A and B are shown apart, each in its own frame.
Chain A
Amino acid sequence: MAVGLLIGVMLFVATVCLLAASGLAARSARASFACTVAGTAAGLVAAMAVLLGPGDWEWTSALAPGGENFRLQLDGLAAFFLVLVCVVGCAGAAYACEYWPESTGSAARGRAWWNALVLSMGAVLLVSNGVHFLMAWEAFALCGYFLITLDNRYAGVRAAGWLYLAASHVGTLALIAFFASLAQSLGTWDLGPTNDVPSIAPLFWLALFGFGMKAGFFPCHIWLPSAHANAPSHVSAIMSGVAIKMGVYGIVRFGGWLPVPDAAGYVVIGIGAASAVLGIAFAFAQNDVKRLLAYCSVENIGVILIGVGAALLARSHGNAAWGGLALAGALLHVWNHGLFKSLLFFGAGSVLHATGTREMSRLGGLWKSMPWTAGLFAVGAVAVAGLPPLNGFAGEWLIYLGLFEGATTRAGFAWAVLPAAILLATAGSLALAAFAKAGGVIFLGVPRTKPAAGAHECGPGMLAPMLALATACTVIGVAPSLVWMPVARAVGTWNPAWSGAANPLFALGPAQLLLAVLAAAAGALLWKKSRANGLRRAPTWDCGFCRPTARMQYTGGSFAGIASGWFAAIFRTEHKSRRPRGPFPASAFHLDHVPETVLDRMIRPTGALIEKLSHAALGLQHGRLPFYILYLVAGLAVLGVYVFLEAAL
């Protein structure tokens, strides 16, 4: 039991360190950061000890907050998510040291809430009691709120915070109902595998909605774009890379522990496919780089849910082995997305830091002033587009493998994998388009505005975490077999019937490594050959047009124009334009804006209607006594008539 003891000690150390980091936040930035590093490292050791070690870890205390015994449990699935929390928790804290300095006035607050967020997410993963889960969940949601509104001088930031808080609590409400119903049906608040009680299957829908609000799948994503765009970039990174994964954790966790309705697999695949395609379509159409990344998170949650849905489907039909592959792909994608999305948000943060704008149409040509950021962003872009040889492809490849294997069985129930695979491919090619646009418009070409021209490379404090994340993306890409053991462990925890599967990545890994080496070698060779032949710099030729200016460059809006047209019915893009008139037109403009369609066209009008009806009802409350007496009499009269009629019939 030495391993169990080690895990317990490490978790204790992690808790103490993170609490200390929170406490020291206002006193010493350096000490606080050291505590964060120590705490996340200890958490990482504990999680890896569970993933690579012999068994789960459990601990029950005599303490009973909320009237329930305090019970902690770290199994393969929870440990898998804990790894991501610790890695991004550490990388983000390091990035924040330079990105969010004391001069912002909220650096100390930021550190305090950051460590509280990491700690509360760890608590969500560890507790195994409904009451405590809700407590940890609420703490986690509140920490997120304070981090998003760190820079609360701006109205946009405050509004994003409110929206996040409201959406989060709608989800929490569903979760309270879920856990309470669960406790009532089972007679205990303790959580654990309860697959033998089929009557509680419908509760899965409550959990799906409650956790889905946090995970941000379509159309529960309404809070996500504005929250992730307006938060400081290191906060966006952990919110997008890790916090929404807590929602995925909830769905995976309770989809595994509880019996699920028959339709669950189909519904989750459907939600996943819709989120993947619509999320990335919205991302492609964005002009704000952080909004683009936020919508891309909706897509990636969709990709993960496709894998989870396939796993649910396969499990409910005799544990077909392809479900295990799909789930392994989904879980690997949880890690991958956490890594490359954090990398991309850090990159966007560096751009914002250097130029003061998130609008891509005001950027351009940044590779010259920020070559490191540009290169690292490009690595993230290749990874997020799911292209070989990086990690994004490894995860998506596993999901595809599960879906294609499901298709080849030709079992009648497996029809859903066909549209899922095709829609996943569509989302993948849209992601490629979206990141060719993001990378191209921000970093390539010529600067479009003065701030973009005067950009500067960020310091080593911001580059180092990005470099670490990019390295992780590359390593998982070229040697995916390294991470197979933790993934297989988590899959085995979810469904023991799938434990001990052979590593399907053994062939892909060498292929990806070979590709990476060949690509690097070919690139170097061609560069050398071009240099040897003579390399001359000249203005862009462009078919003989004169030197192109920034105003002649293709813009992000035009780049996405073709594909946006296909989704016009959903986007409801707002066009504003004044055409050039007369022989000497004085001015002309064309503006395209993709609104937050679900929020602006559905939620807000519904909210306005409810408000209007409430206002109408308010007319009944005027404070004049005779009328209240009249209401009473009228009410009594109606009751009397009702009773009389019932007696008569």
Chain B
Amino acid sequence: MTIDWILRIALWVVLAPLLPGIINKVKAWVAGRKGPPVLQLYYDLNRLRKKSVVLSDIASPAFVVAPAVAWVAVASAAFLLPLGPADAGVSFRGDVLLMVYLLALARFCTAWAAMETGSAFEGMGAAREVSYAVLGEAAMFAAMLSLCVQTGSISLVDMLEPTSAVGTALLAAGLFIVLLAENCRVPFNDPNTHLELTMVHEVMVLDHSGPPLAAILHGASMKLLLFAVLLTTAVLPMDRFSPAGAVGALAAGILLVTVGVGLTESFLARISFRNVPLLLTMAFLLCLFSLLVAWKGCASALGSAGVPPASSGRQDACAPGDPLPSSARAWRGGAA
């Protein structure tokens, strides 16, 4: 148990900074540049670790503490996600809600720290972050509900293993847009610029330096990895693979998502801020339609307008698109 936990944390902590490096490499490759090394973020983190901190006159100690709390929140959310055959670090009924709200806690901490500096820029970034998150969270909830309805379970381990069948394409598109928005990638935000007014996340962390900035950068990369894992496992039927195949599929999926983000950034310009809510609403609608497909697909499987028995448990409501419900999970415990 303990070794599993340590390995899992190490995996998340060590691998996460790789993703921004891959994205930057893809962008450089498309633009015909050499680009920074893939491991650039590791070097940056190491450098920031040793640096001293410049703290604004008007900021309270919470300005330093908030990035740590946000990092813990993201790491805890990552801990709840199943990693193919390795399952999740902790799993219980309703952990999906905790995961979404942990990301919200991280957002609250970042916004709080941004307000500490009393700067117009950072307040603006915080306002944007919390406002756009309203739409992003609605999309996220619709996506999670659709997975719940599809699989008849509300714990991440069972929700993410079978593929979401009918609505997969809709769900994948919706979740990908949410991924871009939540991680502040193009077309919502340009992670390259620091001095542009039209930013969300980067502008909130302008005044951080030293170890707190390292916590923020690492937390952001971990959040990106979290969304990549979530998207991959939600789309792929993880329970159909052998343990080794599942690990391979997961890695391939994460790589594909990362390259996809890089390509999106290479070929797309940032949209104007007026249109951000529209794009997010589209993501919400995509997730909502996948939810409706899951709900209606099931209703039609039930037969005509027949109302199911009032106290129907999920067993007798209908079988989801998962022909091998529990037997395929036999490999679980051993692999972990």
Contact = CB atoms under 8 A, between A and B. Distances in A.
Interface of A: 317-321, 364-365, 367-368, 371, 374, 378, 382, 385-388, 393, 397, 400-401, 404-405, 407-413, 415, 418, 421-422, 425-426, 428-430, 432-433, 435-437, 439-441, 444-446, 504, 507-508, 511, 514-515, 518-519, 522-527, 529-530, 533-543, 545, 548, 550, 552-554, 558-563, 566
A548 B119 contact: yes
A382 B76 contact: no
A407 B148 contact: yes
B108 interface: yes
Contacts of B124: 554, 558
Nearest to B121: A542
A418 B291 contact: yes
Interface string B176-199: 000000000000000000110000
A595 to B, nearest CB: 22
B255 interface: no
B68 interface: yes
Contact of B52 (A319, A433, A534): A534
Interface in B271-313: 277, 288, 291, 295, 298-299, 302, 307-313
A543 B107 CA distance: 22
B322 interface: no
A538 B207 CA distance: 10
Contacts of A368: 58, 60
A554 B120 contact: yes
Contacts of B247: none
B93 interface: yes
Contacts of B131: 433, 562-563
Given A508-B92, A511-B92, A411 B56 contact: no
A407 B149 contact: yes
A541 B94 contact: no
Contact of B101 (A387, A538, A561): A387
Contact of B298 (A367, A400, A410, A441): A410
A526 B153 contact: no
Contacts of A446: 58, 118
B171 to A, nearest CB: 15
B15 interface: no
Interface string B117-129: 1111111101110
Contacts of B117: 445, 540, 542, 548
Contacts of B323: none
Interface string B93-133: 11111101110110110011011111111111011101111
B154 to A, nearest CB: 5
B215 interface: yes
Nearest to B116: A444
B112 A543 contact: no
Interface centre among B60, B68, B121, B313 (most CB of A within 10 A): B68
B118 A444 contact: yes
B317 A533 contact: no
Q: What is the predominant secondary structure among interface residues of chain A facing chain B?
A: helix
Contacts of B50: 533
Nearest to A317: B310
Contacts of B152: 408, 410
A561 B123 CA distance: 12
A446 B56 CA distance: 11
B82 interface: no
Contacts of B95: 507, 511
Interface in B83-98: 90, 92-98
Most chain A CB within 10 A, of B61, B119, B148, B314, is at B119
B241 interface: no
Contacts of A525: 68
Interface in B51-69: 51-62, 64-69
A318 B311 CA distance: 5
B112 A440 contact: yes
Contact of A387 (B52, B60, B65, B104): B104
A411 B298 CA distance: 10
Contacts of A537: 54-57
B94 A540 contact: no
Contacts of B111: 436, 440
Contacts of B122: 542, 554
B28 interface: no
A616 B311 CA distance: 59
Given A537-B55, A553-B120, A559-B127, A422 B145 contact: yes
Given A368-B60, A526-B64, A527-B61, 14 more contacts: A365-B118, A397-B101, A408-B153, A410-B308, A411-B307, A412-B299, A425-B141, A429-B104, A440-B116, A445-B116, A530-B64, A535-B53, A535-B55, A554-B124
A522 B72 contact: yes
A529 B215 CA distance: 12
A455 to B, nearest CB: 14
Given A432-B107, A548-B118, A539 B94 contact: no
Nearest to A364: B118
Interface in B313-336: 313-314, 317-318
Interface string B236-258: 00000000000000000000000
A517 to B, nearest CB: 10
A511 B98 contact: yes
B263 interface: no
30 contacts: A319-B311, A374-B60, A388-B73, A401-B97, A404-B148, A408-B154, A410-B298, A411-B310, A411-B317, A412-B299, A418-B145, A421-B141, A429-B138, A432-B130, A436-B130, A440-B114, A444-B115, A445-B116, A507-B93, A523-B65, A533-B53, A533-B210, A534-B53, A541-B206, A542-B119, A548-B118, A554-B123, A559-B123, A561-B127, A562-B128
Which 5 pairs show the lowest CB-CB distances between chains A and B?
A554-B123, A440-B115, A445-B118, A318-B310, A534-B52
